[in-house]
Each structure stands twice: as C-alpha cells, then as structure tokens.
Amino acid sequence: MRLFRGRSHLCSHLEFSHNLLSRTQNAGRLAFSIQERRPQTQFRWPSPTERTASTLTNNDPSTSLLTTKEDPTIYALSTAPGRAAIAVIRVSGPLCLTVYHSLCPGKQRPKPRYATLRTLYDPAETSESARVLDSGALVFYFPAPESTTGEDVLEFHVHGGTAVVKAVLAAIPKPFQGLSQTIRYADPGEFTRRAFYNGRLDLLQVEALGDTLAAETEQQRRLAVRGSTNTLTERYESWRQKLLYARGELEALIDFSEDQHFDESPAQLCASVAEQVQELKHQLQANIDNASRGELLRNGINIALVGAPNAGKSSLLNQIVGREAAIVSGEAGTTRDVVDVNVDIGGFYCRFGDLAGLRKASQTPSSHQIGEIEQEGMRRAKQRALTADVVIAVIPAESATSNESTAGATVRGVVDNEVLEVLKQCDPQTQQIMCVLNKADNFKSDQQRASQRENLGRHSVLRGLIDSSKTTVYTISCKSAQNANSGNCDPGGIQTFLDGLNQLFRRMTAAVGPYGREGPGNNSAWAETLGASERQRVLLQQCFQHLDKFLAGVQPSQDGHRAAPDEEDIDVVVAAEHLRAAADCLAKIAGRGEAGDVEDVLGVVFEKFCVGK
C-alpha cells in the first residue's frame, strides 16, 4: 500500500484538522465508522458590504448619505406591473429609513414588522396640493438582519393604479439626486441575490424560489415547495461530512501509520471505507434518478403522437386540448410538421406533439407519391418520437374490422410497419409507450372491440413495448367524443384514456429510494430529491464518478471484471483525493465552491428572476 507518496494539501480543511486531532487522541484505536456529524458553523457568503469593506449605520440618515458608496440601496416594484388593487414597492439597503422619512415627513419610524398606515408625500414637491402621492398606504419596516434580504427592508403597499406606482417610484430616489451610487432601481433577482449573500437563503433554496416563481401547474408548484425546505441542503451536507470524515481517516493513516499502532490494517481500513462509500453511492443514485424525474415536472413531459396517416392523431390532440389545435381531414398526410401544444393534464405540464403520419411509398395509392415535404415531415416525426418521454401510438380500428380472417393478419393490418419500426427503436428504459386503439365506433359490437384490443395486446412487438411501459391499450373514439351530447360522462373513452395517462405520469415522477421502488425504506422520504435542479444533478453525477474512482482503486469491481488490487497497489493518497473531490462536488451544490464557481452559478440561477424579486 502506497502511503507516503507526498503529503497532499488537504490538512488545511477544518474538518480534517478535527479528524487529525481526534485521531491523535485516539491513536491505537482505529475502529472506523462513518458517523453523522452536525455541520460546521453555517456557511455564509460575505455580503456586498463585507466584500467592499463599506460599513454603514442607518440610524442617522444624514451620515448614511455620505458613506454609502459601494452598497447601494435598491428599490423596485415587486408586484406585477399594470392596474391592480394593491402594488408593493420594496426597498432594501441602508437607506431604507432615509427613504421612509423623506416620503413620510415628520412621522415616527414604523414599528418593525407591523403595518403602519401612512400618507406618502413627494419630497421634492413644494406645492401642498401636489405633494400627496398616495393616501392610505401601508408601510412595513423589517430591520436587518431579520428581513428577506438580510438588510433593512421597507415595503410600501400602495394603491395599484399605474400613475400612483409611477409617482412613488419616481419619488424614492429624489432626495439622493447627484449621489448616484447611493440608491438605484434593482436588477432582476437582486433582492434574492442579497438574501443569498447575507445567508438568508442557500443556493438550493434560491433555485427552489426560482421554480416557485416559474411554476405554472400544480405539480410544478409542489415540486418547488419541496425544494424550498433545507432538507436537501442538510442531506448533501451530511454526505459531505461523511466523505470528509472518511478522507480524514485515510489521511491519518498516511500521516501516522509508521509511528502509531492501528487496530485495523490499511487494507482493512480501505475496505471499511469502501463499504460506506458503496452505501453512499446507492443514496446518490436515488437522488440522481429522482432529479431526472423532477425535471419531467419542471420542464414538462414531452409526448409524441405517432401513427399512420389518418389514424386520428390530430383528432385525439384536439380532444385532449379541447379546441381545434390541429387540422383534421380525411386526406391522408394532412399533418406535415410537428404541431406542438402545451397543456396541463391533472397538474402535469405536458407538451404534446402531433406528428406527420408514418407510411411507406408502397402503401400510398399509385396516384399519390410521397413528396419531399411529407418525407421531411416523417423524418421530423421519427426524430421527435425517439426523444419523447411518452410515445402514444394511435392505431386506427378500421383495418381491423375489414380484415378479421386471422388474428395475426388483423393486428398487422392495424399497426403499420413504419409505426412499428419507430416503436421498436424507442428506448424502454427512458421512454414510455402507450397504445390507443382509435375509431372504436367502427366496431360492430363490444365483443369485437374487446377482441381487437386483445389482438393488439398479443402482438409480439407491441406486447414487449406495452409490458415494459406497464401500460394498457385504451380504446377510444374521437368521433363519438366529438358528437356526444353532454349527458354522456365519458364520450369516446377520452376521459378514461386521460386518467390512464395521469397514472402513468404519477409513476414516472414518483420518488424512488436507494434500493428502487420495491426496495426497503420509505420512498416518500425521498420526495424532496425530486426538487433537485439540473445543476445539482450534474454535480451529484460528478460526485458519484469520483466515488467510483475511489472504489476502483481500493476494491474489486462488483461485476467481478476487476480483481481486488494488491495491498501494495492501493494508493491511499489518490484514494483520499477522490473522496475530497467528491466532497467538493457536494460543497458546490450549496454554493460553497471557489468564489468564481459560485459567481458563475449565481449568474445562471438568477437569470430566471424578475425585477423586484
């Protein structure tokens, strides 16, 4: 085992020093276990004030005016622009009280966190009649640091008329004219950025806040709420602590193994750490999988309607969205390009793509050649189907009724070969396939309808696809749905199909635990991990890869392809480095990376924020 190939630079970490200390104190008793430790003191990114070394007091407004250079007070309309009953204007920074006194002259400082009724005046206006900006405004004052931004915050709840808002916004900076650095209109997301800098929110909560503001559907809202707790932060931090602790154990071995007696041999210690790392990998994998599932809720579920020309794809789309979103016609090949429609189905944000019908040239009537446009449409349709999360194969029932001589021929007649080819190319691991038998009104009886559905289920290719998607074949009739009178509760079976689709979405987006859906433990306890962002998922993936490299260096591979390394081949320094790198990835998730990293991340995260937030 190679222990002394140069001391790594890791001692600088507080956690490592802590480990060294306890290791030295407990020398000779190296019974190793990875324990949960309470996080170190809460990390806090230096505030803009600290970073610029500009300290202000806001007790005396006159001195604030002179000293505020680097840390301007910001203000903005925080509610949506336009006519409304109430508009909220928010001010954050050291000049809050100065702003208050200039708009509410002669009035006492408002009691913190209480609503105070005030008339607002224009500080630059001398004419008594023109001075009043708004009467009956409510003022809230939140002194630092117990405020949303961690700075002094002032909120004016004014009447929501456009002119009132405009006048109050114009009045706020008036006393500071000529001192341009002291107060300015806020940039998008600047209030939240300050909350982050002042330790009021961690980066994960900032991301969840961005999701909350962007949420359009019920499921997106729930996802955002899950992410807004600090459960994820605590989970990542406990993993990071475990990794740092494990690394500390290895480092102690490097430093002291020559002069101290340890109960465990280096190989035993590595095996013990590897066991813990293996367990951590299971948890990471669950987190990574759930983050991908959460993406479906956040970005929407991409659904492709595939089928032969005239199968009824456009008719089905129109039934789903409840309007004429796509052209329906008896002419085969009507839909040429992808028709995308966004729709909320039971709280799930979905993007439906109605695609060009798929057929071969030989299947077209001799008078009809497949032209360039139709070919391009089919190419796009295939491409879209292969990247969709859910592929709905729309199969028309008409061929079935006209060709019932043999079960096999019937089914093959219904499911077009071109459509089958595309379904076969879909990835059952990542894509769900659903079959819809349309034009059920063509069946002569319920019995015929049932037997055709069974035939479809028996079809060798479809069977496999349907089984892997754990879905059923739905029988619908867009025509019946369209012609139904309001008395029929589920005309054409569209509602039953939508319910099935909803159940499929629930399965696709349900959280899984470290040992899969059927594994031990409570999977719902992992629901928060659905809220993990794409950025977090990428960093978790990188963390996972470092753990893999660590394991590759210290133990045989689980599939038996790689034998256990000889004791002399275990490089503990390199192994410890992989643990450090893995821990760093977790640190970056919470915004604890190098300063440059964090600024880059902030740039991306705050892009989504609007002014006033």
Ligand X SMILES: Nc1nc2c(ncn2[C@@H]2O[C@H](COP(=O)(O)OP(=O)(O)OP(=O)(O)O)[C@@H](O)[C@H]2O)c(=O)[nH]1
Which listed residue (281, 293, 298, 439) binds ligand X by CB under 6 A? 439
Which residue has the closest beta carbon to ligand X?
357
- Binding pattern to ligand X, positions 70-109, x when CB under 6 A? ----------------------------------------
Least distance from C-beta 380 to ligand X, angstroms? Answer: 13
Identify the CA nearest to 305 among candidates 263, 268, 341, 261.
341
> With contact defined as beta carbons under 8 Å apart, do 128 and 196 qualify?
no
Does residue 334 touch ligand X according to CB under 6 A? yes
Least distance from C-beta 398 to ligand X, angstroms? Answer: 7
Does residue 310 touch ligand X according to CB under 6 A? yes
3-state secondary structure (DSSP) of residue 365 = coil
72 or 333: CB nearest ligand X: 333
Least distance from C-beta 503 to ligand X, angstroms? Answer: 23
Which listed residue (73, 205, 241, 315) binds ligand X by CB under 6 A? 315
491 or 612: CB nearest ligand X: 491
- Binding pattern to ligand X, positions 397-436, x when CB under 6 A? ----------------------------------------
Phi, psi of 353 (to 5 degrees): -115, 115
Contacts of 133 (CB under 8 A, 6+ apart): 103, 120, 121, 122, 158, 164, 167, 168, 171
328 or 587: CB nearest ligand X: 328
Identify the CA nearest to 497 among candidates 469, 475, 525.
475
Strand order in the sheet with 73-77: 116-121, 132-142, 153-159, 86-92, 73-77, 183-185
Which listed residue (102, 149, 302, 335) binds ligand X by CB under 6 A? 335
Identify the CA nearest to 332 among candidates 435, 418, 420.
418
Least distance from C-beta 300 to ligand X, angstroms? Answer: 22
Least distance from C-beta 332 to ligand X, angstroms? Answer: 5
**Which of the stretches 75-83, 243-251, 329-337, 445-453 binds ligand X when contact is defined by CB under 6 A?**
329-337
Residues in the chain: 613
Least distance from C-beta 424 to ligand X, angstroms? Answer: 20
Specify the pairing of strand 432-438 against strand 116-121.
unpaired
Does residue 548 touch ligand X according to CB under 6 A? no
* Stretch 289-308 residues interacting with ligand X (CB under 6 A): 307
Specify the pairing of strand 183-185 against strand 432-438.
unpaired
Least distance from C-beta 349 to ligand X, angstroms? Answer: 23
Would you give the distance in Å from CA 524 to the centre of its chain? 17
Task: Report whether the peptide linkage leading into residue 175 is cis, meaning its omega lies within 30 degrees of zero.
Answer: no
> With contact defined as beta carbons under 8 Å apart, do 321 and 341 qualify?
yes
The residues of the shown chain that bind ligand X, judged by CB under 6 A, are: 307, 309-315, 328-330, 332-335, 356-357, 438-439, 441-442, 477-479
